[in-house]
């Protein structure tokens, strides 16, 4: 792929893989010009660029084989640190995304539609069954039981565009102090608690949750708390399935530990 991209761009470009799970991202350098290239990015990228949520989109090219290559501005910066996830800028960026009608309309034009919590639950359950994880792991069976018992807490929420993988590695702080959220492969239309619940659970001390939510612009209550844990369990089950399908036992074990902790919390603080 690197050689192919060099033929497309010109041999004067130095192209190298940028890493990542899909292997479809590359860096390209020519003298002082630098680009971030990606193969078959979603058309959603153009709206994200216009909203200044990701680095600027420079050009898009369709190749003869049908692949689409996008080139973005390569910005100087760094990934956010774990302890920076509580910053005001993070909360404001997430709220900006959730409030954006432009992002919502574009994602819907691309064929995305809100999935009910029940539909998501059934999909995850079938996926787990198909690879025998329900039979194999008691913590998976327990988690599915909790999801079914608490399903009603997910009702009547206004769906918004969610990133779906809000971890500090996907937040880029530039040298000019601009904050970007990258890697939109898991974007969906869903309950916004999917996004900020990840931030709260994995980055913010419990005693600071109310302060962080105030930065985002909502007030904590019992329903928010229950929905947050419902989706955290659902998402962890998705990851367990994904890692199992990829034959990554170490990652499966890590996610099972996360699931055990979430199950204990549901039992001790929500269902008790």
- List residues with catalytic annotation: 165
User: How far is CA 32 from its chain centroid?
Assistant: 32
Tokens coding 215: 């930065």
Other CB atoms within 10 Å distance of the CB of residue 157: 16
Distances (CA, A) of 83 to 90, 207, 228: 11, 15, 21
C-alpha to C-alpha distance for 92 and 98, rounded to whole angstroms: 10
Per DSSP, 66 falls in state: S
Collect all residues with Cβ–Cβ distance below 8 Å to 252 and sequence separation of at least 6: 240, 243, 244
- Ramachandran angles phi, psi of 214, nearest 5°: -65, -35
C-beta separation of 84 from 75 below 8 A: no
**Cβ-defined contacts of 67-70 (< 8 Å, 24+):** 67/39, 67/40, 68/39, 68/40, 68/41, 69/5, 69/8, 69/37, 69/38, 69/39, 70/37, 70/38, 70/41, 70/45
- Ramachandran angles phi, psi of 157, nearest 5°: -110, 140
């Amino acid at each position: 792929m690197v050689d192919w991209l060099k033929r497309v761009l010109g041999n004067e470009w130095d192209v190298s893989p940028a890493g990542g799970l899909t292997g479809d991202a590359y860096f390209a350098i020519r003298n002082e010009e630098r680009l971030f290239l990606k193969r078959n990015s979603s058309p959603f990228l153009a709206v994200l660029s216009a909203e200044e949520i990701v680095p600027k989109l420079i050009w898009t090219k369709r190749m003869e084989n049908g692949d689409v290559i996008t080139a973005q501005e390569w910005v100087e910066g760094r990934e956010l640190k774990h302890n920076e996830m509580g910053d005001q800028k993070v909360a404001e960026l997430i709220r900006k995304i959730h409030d954006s009608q432009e992002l919502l309309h574009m994602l819907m034009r691309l064929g995305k539609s809100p999935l009910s919590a029940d539909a998501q639950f059934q999909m995850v359950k079938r996926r787990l069954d198909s690879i025998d994880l329900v039979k194999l792991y008691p913590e998976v069976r327990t988690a599915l039981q909790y999801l079914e018992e608490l399903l009603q807490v997910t009702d009547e929420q206004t769906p918004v565009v969610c990133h779906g993988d809000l971890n500090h590695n996907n937040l880029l702080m530039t040298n000019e102090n601009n904050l970007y959220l990258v890697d939109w492969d898991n974007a969906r239309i869903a309950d916004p608690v999917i996004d900020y619940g990840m931030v709260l659970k994995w980055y913010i001390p419990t005693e600071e949750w109310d302060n962080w939510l105030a930065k985002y612009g909502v007030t904590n209550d019992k329903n928010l708390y229950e929905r947050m844990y419902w989706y955290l369990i659902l998402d962890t089950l998705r990851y367990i399935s994904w890692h199992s399908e990829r034959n990554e036992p170490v990652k499966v074990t890590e996610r099972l530990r996360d699931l055990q902790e979430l199950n204990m919390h549901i039992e001790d603080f929500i269902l008790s």
